[in-house]
Amino acid sequence: MTNPRQLAFIALRDVHKGAYADVALDRVLQKFNLPDRDRRLVTELVYGSVRRQRTLDTLIDQLAKKKSHQQPQDLRTILHLGFYQLRYQERIPASAAVNTTVQLAKENGFSGLTGFVNGLLRQYLRKAGEQGGRGAGGQRSRGAEEQGGRGAEEKDSLLLPHFDPLELPENPVERLGILHSFPDWIIQVWLEQLGLTDTEQLCEWMNQSPTIDLRINPLRTSIEEVEAALESVGILVRRIPHLPQALRFIGNTGSIQKLPGFKEGWWTVQDASAQLVGHLLDPQPGEVVIDACAAPGGKTTHIAELMADEGKIWACDRTASRLRKLQENSQRLNLQSIQIYTGDSRHFNQFQNTADRVLLDAPCSGLGTMHRHADARWRQTPESVRELSVLQRELLTHTSTFVKPGGVLVYATCTLHPAENEEVVSAFLADSPQWQIESPIDVELPDSTESTPQGWFKLWPHRQDMDGFFMVRLRKTNNSE
């Protein structure tokens, strides 16, 4: 069985039973040897249907007699796939989207409902004002032609729609939540910080297919050498301002592990904003550095590179399986300065006053990286954010004791929720008079990075075109014990 839509259905069925989207997708792709084009289509359909779940459910609610939650789960999944293609995949002809969805229903136990499926999808098209043409509204997925679309020759020739069948409420929180497919509480968090226009731009950004950035290893190669090696096999990259080790892939890459320089340890995959964290920490050769929540190790290996692999880095994490990934990466990059330590950093006492620098890249809700984790928006809740903020405060309070007097701690998260960022740091500083925020003057940040009067930095994805991040550098005064 190599039908991409059937494989997407199987993966989505697992997701709706509780599997993580990336795990369910990987399981299906490992099982079948698909051509690259079909792999991209499966990937786009799975991630897109999960991301757009609220919008797709609302379409079912508005067009069918039974609400989405009243539909059999497998039928609901099939309808998601059909509506996703009609609404967001501009290179898949509407007729193909409808016919393949009807076929999916027939092959997966809903032979008696093929008329219903056909009718519902065509009702959407009629409401859009197209006689069998494409559906309306919503942004197209970035790179849809790479991630899973058809060739240009198959593009619909019919006129673009003039009406969006999706009916939206006037309340801005609900309107943005339904249109861009986010829970209301996330929209509310962003509106309070950004206002309406920026929140909408952020929603649109978060629904794009993610780019892939790499970080070259200056101990093994140069950025020019990596550019030339990739160009020799037809892979295009561009440099990222203010980040001397960063390159961004343009277009489809195929298997990352097969690209030139990967096995040789010339580079590793790491998003641009995560690379900024290492530069903010600014580790020096010969220092003792502790990475308190290190796995899977992207920032740990970057620290080693910035230190010229001279000194000692304690890489701590409580998850042994994720630390194995760190070990593999450090071996591939040929780094010797990293020592792995398994356990919960909140319970370590042996590191007191031992580190020149500590990185606390705290576990968080990941609201800055939801474009990479299609199901994160549905897994996190206000309650999980509250629980994480407690964990973050405990980690910051304890790992700060690892730092020598005069030393530095960088607190970073890939979330955009004040309860996990500003509030955690403010509470820590209120209880820790020997600590203060240090605004580094020698770290170049991307244009329009939000550098607040308080001294912390926020990367908003729709402004910097990289993952959302919060980071702050703290220094311990010399007279502390």
Each of the 481 residues of the chain gets a pLDDT tens digit; together they read: 679 999 999 999 999 999 999 999 999 999 998 988 899 999 999 999 999 999 999 999 999 999 999 999 999 999 999 999 999 998 999 999 999 999 999 999 999 999 999 999 999 999 987 533 444 444 444 333 333 333 332 333 333 445 789 999 999 999 999 999 999 999 999 999 999 999 999 999 999 989 999 999 999 999 999 999 999 999 999 999 889 999 999 988 888 999 999 999 999 999 999 999 999 999 999 999 999 999 999 999 999 999 999 999 999 999 888 899 999 999 999 999 999 999 899 999 889 999 999 999 999 999 999 999 999 999 999 999 999 999 999 999 999 999 999 999 999 999 999 999 999 999 999 999 999 999 765 666 665 555 666 788 999 999 999 999 999 999 999 864 4
Query: Residues with Cβ < 8 Å from 42, sequence gap 6 or more?
Result: 4, 7, 8, 11, 25, 28, 29, 34, 148
Kindly state the tokens that stand for 164: 């969006």
The pLDDT score that the predictor gives to residue 156 is 35
Pair 24, 12: CB distance under 8 Å: yes
**Does residue 76 share a domain with residue 125?**
yes
Residue 436's SS3 state is strand
For the chain, helix, strand, coil in percent to 5 are: 45, 15, 40
The pLDDT score that the predictor gives to residue 146 is 33
**Does residue 241 share a domain with residue 100?**
no
**Does residue 328 share a domain with residue 298?**
yes
User: Pick from 386, 292, 405, 291: which is nearest to 337 by CA?
Assistant: 291
Q: How far apart are CA 210 and CA 371, in angstroms?
A: 6
**Does residue 259 share a domain with residue 276?**
no
**Does residue 394 share a domain with residue 339?**
yes
**Does residue 374 share a domain with residue 252?**
no
Q: Which domain holds residue 125?
A: 1-137
Q: Where are the alpha helices (DSSP H) in 245-297?
A: 272-281
The pLDDT score that the predictor gives to residue 36 is 86
Active site residues: 414
The pLDDT score that the predictor gives to residue 126 is 92
In-domain check, residue 85: yes
**Does residue 70 share a domain with residue 131?**
yes
Residues in a beta bridge with 411: 360, 472
In-domain check, residue 208: no
- When divided into structural domains, the chain yields a total of 3
The pLDDT score that the predictor gives to residue 143 is 37
Burial-class residue 233 by CB neighbours within 10 Å (0-12, 13-18, 19+). exposed
Sign of CA dihedral 366, 367, 371, 374: positive
Residues in a beta bridge with 289: 313, 357
Backbone angles phi, psi at 315, to 5 degrees: -100, 105
In-domain check, residue 430: yes
In-domain check, residue 149: no
In-domain check, residue 435: yes
Which CATH number fits the domain that encloses residue 48? Answer: 1.10.940.10
**Does residue 257 share a domain with residue 126?**
no
The pLDDT score that the predictor gives to residue 252 is 82
In-domain check, residue 24: yes
Residues in a beta bridge with 269: 214
